[in-house]
Homo-oligomer: A and B are copies of this chain.
């Protein structure tokens, strides 16, 4: 049984607690956060502390913390044993270089507290300060997912950036879609099958090959009608993305 301590109380900490608690060979023995109030929810599941000097002895310490806090914690925090991992896409492995055994455990997924996820399908990108630790981190990951991949800090940073495009920005486009529906008294639910298919298409087609729409067809009339319907701020987004689609596809035709 591998003992895990999770530092943090945000979305990633929340979902990691759930995943490691449900796994057969891992146990979350403690959660830490500097704000006692943030630990309230977690008290029913495991031991909690807001005192960094009172961390229990464990096999893994997972820093599911804000990017800025990771190097700070790494400077002051000295576990007797155990591997210290951070979960950030954007922070390099070297942020933990003051420690003895360390690595990265980056689950490539979007987490919200009120949306359950199937952790077994989530790719976890790992990195470590030694081949031995890499092996241990890999085994830790395989308790909760089937997809553990070694990804270096540079690649992870790029992946995090790509994730912003495919997830954060796409989700914002869904929000704009919802706003347009609302403005015209149409139920947003009518767009859900389309959104589902948009994601499903790229399982079998490259995104480039899945592209359709007025920008690709260079349908100037429709583009003009759309621009006229939009508010100024959304016009800029429409123009820029239309142009970007045309550049990508013009280049390749």
| A residues with CB within 8 A of B | 11, 66-68, 90, 108-112, 114-115, 117, 121-123, 125, 147, 149, 151, 154-155, 157-178, 180-181, 183-186, 190-217, 219, 221-222, 225-226, 229-230, 233-234, 236-238, 240-241, 244-245, 247-248
Partner of A191, one of B108, B174, B176, B219: B108
Residue of B nearest to A205 (CB): B115
How many Å lie between the Cα of A6 and that of B158 in the bound state?
Answer: 46
Could you say which residues of chain B place their CB within 8 Å of the CB of A196? 199-200, 203
Q: Are A240 and B244 in contact (CB under 8 A)?
A: no
Could you say which residues of chain B place their CB within 8 Å of the CB of A166? 173-174, 177, 191, 194-195, 198
Partner of A240, one of B122, B177, B240, B247: B240
How many Å lie between the Cα of A170 and that of B94 in the bound state?
Answer: 34
Residue of B nearest to A185 (CB): B155
Query: 9 smallest A-B Cβ distances: which pairs?
Result: A168-B213, A199-B199, A158-B184, A174-B207, A175-B207, A162-B177, A166-B177, A170-B170, A162-B180
Could you say which residues of chain B place their CB within 8 Å of the CB of A240? 236-237, 240
Q: A163-B191, A175-B211 are in contact. Are A186 and B226 (CB under 8 A)?
A: no
How many Å lie between the Cα of A247 and that of B237 in the bound state?
Answer: 13
Could you say which residues of chain B place their CB within 8 Å of the CB of A225? 90, 157
Q: Are A222 and B90 in contact (CB under 8 A)?
A: yes
How many Å lie between the Cα of A2 and that of B206 in the bound state?
Answer: 37
A120, chain B: closest CB distance, angstroms: 10
Pull 26 A–B residue pairs with CB atoms less than 8 Å apart, ordered by A: A66-B219, A90-B214, A109-B193, A109-B194, A110-B210, A112-B212, A115-B201, A155-B186, A158-B180, A158-B183, A159-B181, A159-B191, A161-B230, A162-B176, A162-B180, A164-B226, A168-B245, A169-B238, A170-B198, A171-B211, A171-B212, A174-B202, A174-B207, A175-B207, A195-B199, A234-B244
A142, chain B: closest CB distance, angstroms: 16
Taking each of A151, A202, A216, A226, which has the highest tally of chain B beta carbons within 10 Å of its own beta carbon?
A202
Q: Are B158 and A165 in contact (CB under 8 A)?
A: no
Residue of B nearest to A191 (CB): B166
Could you say which residues of chain B place their CB within 8 Å of the CB of A247? 233
Q: A210-B115, A221-B67 are in contact. Are A158 and B181 (CB under 8 A)?
A: yes
Q: Are A213 and B155 in contact (CB under 8 A)?
A: no
